Structures are given as structure tokens and as C-alpha cells.
């Protein structure tokens, strides 16, 4: 991506965005009419000759408009800022977009992505992001769709953003995939949009996506389930309604969302949906005999219920086999879902994510054990799929308790993680390829003798090997806006976090954990802790757009046997 050249024009005070573009370039423009009565208009010229124009009369919300440049050369896109507001303008070549991505020509300061030097976590190129959607491997590449509002750094009417990767780490940004319906696109009041969902591969080529369309105060249903297809993995065809109503007679609230579609052990497509009733969160199960999963969805019943911690709805459920083929009755499955509005009274942590491990026969799920997915709680809306020999998942690196109507908040995705069974527990280590982020080894000798170690831009990986499992230590970090540390003691493994002049912070702790090895990933805006290869995993979002600058280790002599520090980068 490259930024645009932008300058006032001599022609009546027009603003002009300029770039050299090849013939056949596709332009996506998001424009709205400024408050003046006149329609908004963006005009394109190539080498001084007219190349098209787009308009909108909507003064409330940015609307999508498309241009195709028949000829190549010096392209100039002009608009009158008195009558027209341009949020986002990007260009791409349709035949090569999956390899080349989009070229960002213009973005407003209010929705521009923050500058994060050396950051290696996935972030959108502009605007707001939350839940991962449609995470899967299609056409030989990993695709990540995500909840997206392009026009500010705060939540509003939901779109689906889109990116593609060969390794889950280096991502190519693609055109916005799924906008809200026309009715919702006419307003900028956060009434809903294309909420979370999933994707499956179509026979031959392309994908089928599933998503919740939400419209606040719509009767009789605020939330309904839709499907759409994409043959080229870039453009989506018109959506169709597949589940227009909640199951009757179960006392469910209007929460009815986040369709997760997967192949069951009986060779039929299954769908999970999150909802709630008077007792707490509920996960519903549907299936279809249609091999394309387009029609014929039938409600099978409640798959799972959870009512602890004062939660309301079960959100973003997913279900994946952990080992062996899905058709083998001995294969264990992991059912993972968010506990919306939950609060642990012992620690004060909110919006936790639960992983239940057991057996799934295509119609019922029998729980064998449960554990919390992430003791830091900032790995929310986790979505996983079976990629080759095992499942891979990713989550939104944030928590709804962080979201404010008063200030902007740029967010990221977690490092992608593997899921497996080991020693009677679910482990979630980072994907193996994360070692490719290592650029050079930093000197860790000072760390072991209690010295302060400089971390430059703060994009580092830290590995601690303890002399014995559970040996105590405290690793304190210097951060410009928060007090941050990782500590292991008799109580367990903790991420210590607090911000001055705020209410007391929750205790982010894996109680009674006694690991031997600690792996910590630091980046601007985040800390991720993986103990004993992900037996205990903790993720915490950090405020601001500056990284941790230094750290210091405190531990009884001999407790920490070895330490490594790696500078990371893409």
C-alpha cells in the first residue's frame, strides 16, 4: 500500500488525489454528501482526460461507489470538500488482487490506522475492527475476514474486511468484502450491519459465507441469518435469507447470531448459533442435507448451555476436532465460545471465553472437561478451523470492557494459535511459523543478573526456562501508559496490569499454574504469554500506540535457568 499525493486544485478549491495507475484499475470510493444540500461527487481524470465520476446524495453515511479506469497513466480524483466527503479511496487490479492486494490512495485522518513501527500483529489498513469471521483456507491460502467499520476508529454499522496470507503472519489487504444492506448503509447510527459469521469452501472454486444481518428494533427479528457466495474470493454475490426467525417455544431473547458452519462427523453440514434465554447463554445446533449448504437448514436442538459468571448471550461459538478424523467416535472436539458480560467474582475479569472438550456425534455434545481459553481474557471471539492435520484459530485482541464511546481505539488480532490435546488439557500455542518473525537475538545476559534490558521498539519475544516447574519470578516492563508485569508465584501465573487514575484492575491469573517454560510476545498494544507450550495462555491488550521500552527480572537465585530475547518484525 502507498499513500496518495493530495493537494488543493486550482479549479475552484477542489481537493485532488493523484496516483500513477495502470489501465483496467478498479477504484473503490466511499463518499457522502457534506451538509450543504448538494450531492457529493468524485470525478476521475487520467492524463487530463475525463475517466468517470460517481455521486451520492446521502449526507448521513459514506456509500460505496465503483470506478474502472479504461486507460492508464496519471490518475487524478477530484472533489469539492464543501459538498463532498471522501472517507476511503483505494485501487487494485482485479486479475492480480489476491497477490498484490489493494493500494490505498486516500484515508481521512479520523479513520487512518495508527503508525505502529515494527508491529507484527494483524491490523486493518483503516477503520475499526473486531471479531474474526470466515477464518479458513481457500484456494490454497489462509483468508481472514473480520468485523469492520471503515469510516472511524469506533464501532458502527458492520462490514466485513478481508485479508489473505500464505503463512498466517504476512497479510495482504483485499477490498472490503461485505458491506451492510442498502437500508442500513443509508444511516450512520450503529443500527447493525453484517455481523459475525463463517465461511466454507465450494466444490470447484470459491466460498460460501454465512453471517448475521442485524437491524436494531426490526420486528419481529433484529437478527436473521444470511448466506452468500464468492467465486473469485474477492467479490460477493447478493445474499439470501436462510434462517428468518429464532426457534419458537424456547423462550429465547432476540440474540440469535454468529453462524459457524462446519462439516460434522456424519458428513452433513452443521451450524452453531449463539443466543440466550432466562437462565443464561445457549448454543443452538442446525444441520442441512444440502451438499452446498445453501438451503434446507433444520433446527436440531440446544447443543450446549452455560449460565455461570452472570453471562448473557453465548457469542461466536466454534467447534473443531482436536485429533483424528471427525468421523471417528473417539475423536475429541473443542467447543469454544464467548461469555458476553460475564464477570468472575474472584478476579473481576470480564467477557471470558470458555473451551469445553468432549465428544460430538453430529447431534449432541458430551463434555468431558472445561477450561478457560485465555486467562488474560483479551482473546475474544476466537474462531478456529481444521487446517490439514489440526485446528488453527485466531481471536480479537481486545475486550468489550475496553470499548468507549468517548475515544478512538485501534485494535489487532492475536497471533494465530494451534489447538491440541496434551496431558488432559487443551493447549493453544502460537503457530509454528511464528519463529520466522525473529530478526536477531538480543543480549539477555543482563536480564539474569537483575539488570534493566532495553527492548528498542518493544516488538520482542522472550523465552524463560525455569530450573524447576513453578519457580517464582517477576518480569517487570516499562510502558508509557500502564504498569505491566508477568509474575509466577504460589498463587499461579499472572499478567499484572494497571493504569493510574482508573478503577482497580482485574487480576489476570491462571490460578495454581506451575509451568517450566514461559514464552512472551510483546508488541505495540499487546502482551501474549504462552506457558508450557500454551498449556496456560494469557493475552492482554495494552493502551496507546507505543511499545514496552525495557524490562527487569526479579527472581531468587537459580530459579531462572536460561533466558532468550528476540527482536521480531515482519
What are the residues whose beta carbons fall under 8 Å from the beta carbon of 560, sequence distance 6 or more? 448, 464, 465, 466, 467, 471, 473, 553
Same domain, 87 and 131: no
Helix (H, G, I), strand (E, B) or coil at 127: coil
Same domain, 405 and 471: no
Q: What is the pLDDT of residues 547-557, one digit of tens each?
A: 999 999 999 99
Of 554, 551, 546, residue with least CA distance to 565: 551
Q: For residue 8, what pLDDT is reported?
A: 47
For 149: left if phi > 0, alpha if psi spans -120 to 50, otherwise beta; the answer is beta
Cell for 214? Answer: 442485524
Same domain, 232 and 275: yes
DSSP 233: S
Helix (H, G, I), strand (E, B) or coil at 433: helix
Count of C-beta atoms within a 10 Å radius of residue 115: 8
Same domain, 301 and 258: yes
Q: Which residues pair with 301 in a beta bridge?
A: 285
Do 131 and 381 form a contact (C-beta atoms < 8 A)?
yes
Q: What is the CATH number of the domain that holds 554?
A: 2.60.120.560
Compute φ and ψ for 507, nearest 5 degrees.
-95, 115
Helix (H, G, I), strand (E, B) or coil at 552: strand
Q: For residue 36, what pLDDT is reported?
A: 67
Note whether residue 391 is domain-resident: yes
Same domain, 196 and 273: yes
For 548: left if phi > 0, alpha if psi spans -120 to 50, otherwise beta; the answer is beta
User: To 5 degrees, how large is the angle CA 249–CA 279–CA 370?
Assistant: 115
d(CA 512, CA 488): 10
Do 273 and 258 form a contact (C-beta atoms < 8 A)?
yes
* Domain termination residue (choose one: 383, 404, 427): 427
Q: What is the pLDDT along the chain (570 residues), one digit of tens a residue?
A: 444 555 544 456 899 999 999 999 999 999 999 876 789 999 999 999 999 999 999 998 999 999 999 999 999 999 999 999 999 999 999 999 999 999 999 999 999 998 887 899 999 999 999 999 999 999 999 999 999 999 999 999 999 999 999 999 999 999 999 998 877 777 777 789 999 999 999 998 899 999 999 999 999 999 999 999 999 999 999 999 999 999 999 999 999 999 999 999 999 999 999 999 999 999 999 999 999 999 999 999 999 999 999 999 999 999 999 988 999 999 999 999 999 999 999 999 999 999 999 999 999 999 999 999 999 999 999 999 999 889 999 999 999 998 877 777 778 999 999 999 999 999 999 999 999 999 999 999 999 999 999 998 999 999 999 999 999 999 999 999 999 999 999 999 999 999 977 778 899 999 999 999 999 999 999 999 999 999 999 999 999 889 999 999 999 999 999 999 999 999
Q: For residue 54, what pLDDT is reported?
A: 97
Same domain, 259 and 348: yes
Q: For residue 191, what pLDDT is reported?
A: 83
* Domain termination residue (choose one: 370, 399, 427): 427
Do 6 and 112 form a contact (C-beta atoms < 8 A)?
no
DSSP 119: -
Q: What is the pLDDT of residues 418-444, one digit of tens each?
A: 999 999 999 999 999 999 999 999 999
| Helix, strand, coil abundance in the chain, percent, nearest 5 | 5, 50, 45
Of 308, 330, 332, residue with least CA distance to 321: 332
Do 469 and 514 form a contact (C-beta atoms < 8 A)?
yes
User: To 5 degrees, how large is the angle CA 293–CA 295–CA 332?
Assistant: 40
Answer whether the bond into residue 220 is a cis peptide, omega within 30°: yes
For 482: left if phi > 0, alpha if psi spans -120 to 50, otherwise beta; the answer is beta
* Sheet-wide strand order for 353-360: 314-321, 333-339, 353-360, 365-372
Same domain, 385 and 413: yes
Helices (runs of H) and strands (runs of E) counted in the chain: 3, 42
Count of C-beta atoms within a 10 Å radius of residue 504: 7
Q: Are strands 84-93 and 256-263 parallel, antiparallel or unpaired?
A: unpaired
Note whether residue 112 is domain-resident: no
Note whether residue 8 is domain-resident: no
Q: How many Cα atoms are found within 13 Å in the side-chain-facing hemisphere of 336?
A: 28
Q: Residue 33 sits in which domain range?
A: 15-93
Same domain, 384 and 490: no
* Domain termination residue (choose one: 93, 113, 138): 93
Compute φ and ψ for 491, nearest 5 degrees.
-75, -25
pTM here is 0.95
Same domain, 88 and 210: no
Provide the sign of the torsion angle of the four alpha carbons 182, 185, 190, 193, taken in this order.
positive
Same domain, 443 and 399: no
Cell for 131? Answer: 471479531
Beta strands in 102-216 (DSSP E): 103-107, 128-138, 141-149, 159-165, 171-173, 192-201, 207-215
d(CA 389, CA 11): 61
DSSP 310: G
Note whether residue 216 is domain-resident: yes
Note whether residue 111 is domain-resident: no
Amino acid at each position: 500500500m502507498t499513500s496518495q499525493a493530495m493537494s488543493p486544485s486550482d479549479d475552484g478549491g477542489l481537493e485532488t488525489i493523484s496516483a500513477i495507475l495502470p489501465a483496467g484499475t478498479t477504484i473503490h470510493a466511499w463518499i457522502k454528501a457534506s451538509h450543504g444540500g448538494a450531492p457529493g461527487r468524485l470525478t476521475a481524470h487520467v492524463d487530463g482526460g475525463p475517466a468517470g465520476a460517481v455521486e451520492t446524495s446521502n449526507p448521513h453515511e459514506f456509500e460505496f461507489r465503483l470506478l474502472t479506469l479504461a486507460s492508464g497513466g496519471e490518475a487524478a480524483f477530484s472533489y469539492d470538500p464543501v459538498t463532498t466527503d471522501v472517507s476511503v479511496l483505494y485501487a487494485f487490479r482485479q486479475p492480480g488482487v489476491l497477490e498484490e492486494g489493494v493500494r490505498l490512495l486516500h484515508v481521512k485522518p479520523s479513520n487512518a490506522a495508527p503508525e505502529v513501527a515494527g508491529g507484527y500483529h494483524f491490523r486493518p489498513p483503516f477503520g475499526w475492527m473486531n471479531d474474526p469471521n470466515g477464518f479458513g483456507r481457500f484456494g490454497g491460502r489462509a483468508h481472514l475476514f473480520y468485523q469492520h467499520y471503515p469510516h472511524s476508529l469506533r464501532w458502527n454499522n458492520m462490514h466485513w474486511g478481508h485479508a489473505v496470507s500464505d503463512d498466517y503472519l504476512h497479510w495482504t489487504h483485499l477490498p472490503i468484502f461485505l458491506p451492510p444492506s442498502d437500508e442500513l448503509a443509508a444511516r450512520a447510527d450503529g443500527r447493525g450491519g453484517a455481523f459475525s459469521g463463517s465461511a466454507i469452501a465450494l466444490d470447484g472454486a470459491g466460498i460460501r459465507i454465512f453471517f448475521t444481518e442485524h437491524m436494531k428494533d426490526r420486528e419481529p427479528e433484529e437478527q436473521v441469518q444470511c448466506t452468500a457466495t464468492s467465486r473469485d474470493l474477492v467479490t460477493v454475490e447478493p445474499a439470501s435469507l436462510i434462517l428468518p426467525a429464532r426457534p419458537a417455544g424456547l423462550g429465547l431473547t432476540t440474540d440469535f447470531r454468529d453462524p459457524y458452519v462446519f462439516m460434522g462427523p456424519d458428513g452433513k453440514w452443521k451450524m452453531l448459533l449463539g443466543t440466550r434465554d432466562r437462565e443464561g447463554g445457549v448454543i443452538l445446533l442446525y444441520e442441512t442435507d444440502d451438499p452446498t449448504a445453501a438451503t434446507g437448514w433444520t433446527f436440531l436442538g440446544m447443543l450446549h448451555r452455560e449460565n455461570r459468571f452472570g453471562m448473557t448471550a453465548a457469542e461466536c461459538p466454534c467447534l473443531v476436532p482436536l485429533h483424528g478424523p471427525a468421523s471417528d467416535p473417539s475423536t475429541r472436539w473443542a467447543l469454544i465460545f464467548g461469555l458476553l458480560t460475564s464477570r468472575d467474582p474472584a478476579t473481576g475479569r470480564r467477557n471470558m471465553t470458555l473451551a469445553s472438550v468432549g465428544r460430538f456425534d453430529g447431534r449432541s455434545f458430551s463434555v468431558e472437561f472445561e477450561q478457560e481459553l485465555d486467562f488474560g481474557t483479551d482473546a475474544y471471539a476466537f474462531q478456529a478451523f481444521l487446517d490439514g492435520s489440526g485446528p488453527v484459530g485466531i481471536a480479537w485482541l481486545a475486550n468489550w470492557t475496553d470499548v468507549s464511546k468517548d475515544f478512538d481505539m485501534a485494535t489487532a488480532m492475536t497471533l494465530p494459535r494451534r489447538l491440541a490435546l496434551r496431558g488432559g488439557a487443551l493447549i493453544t500455542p502460537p503457530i509454528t511459523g511464528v519463529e520466522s518473525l525473529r530478526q536477531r537475538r538480543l543480549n539477555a545476559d543482563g536480564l539474569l543478573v537483575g539488570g534493566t534490558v532495553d527492548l528498542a521498539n518493544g516488538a520482542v519475544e522472550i523465552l524463560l526456562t525455569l530450573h524447576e516447574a513453578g519457580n517464582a519470578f517477576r518480569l517487570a516492563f516499562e510502558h508509557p501508559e500502564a504498569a505491566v508485569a508477568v509474575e509466577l508465584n504460589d498463587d499461579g501465573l499472572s499478567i499484572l496490569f494497571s493504569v493510574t487514575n482508573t478503577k482497580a484492575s482485574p487480576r489476570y491469573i491462571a490460578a495454581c499454574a506451575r509451568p517450566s517454560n514461559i514464552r512472551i510476545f510483546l508488541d505495540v498494544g499487546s502482551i501474549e504469554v504462552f506457558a508450557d507450550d500454551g498449556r496456560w495462555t494469557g493475552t492482554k491488550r495494552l493502551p496507546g500506540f507505543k511499545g514496552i521500552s525495557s524490562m527487569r527480572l526479579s527472581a531468587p537465585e537459580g530459579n531462572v535457568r536460561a533466558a532468550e530475547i528476540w527482536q521480531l518484525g515482519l
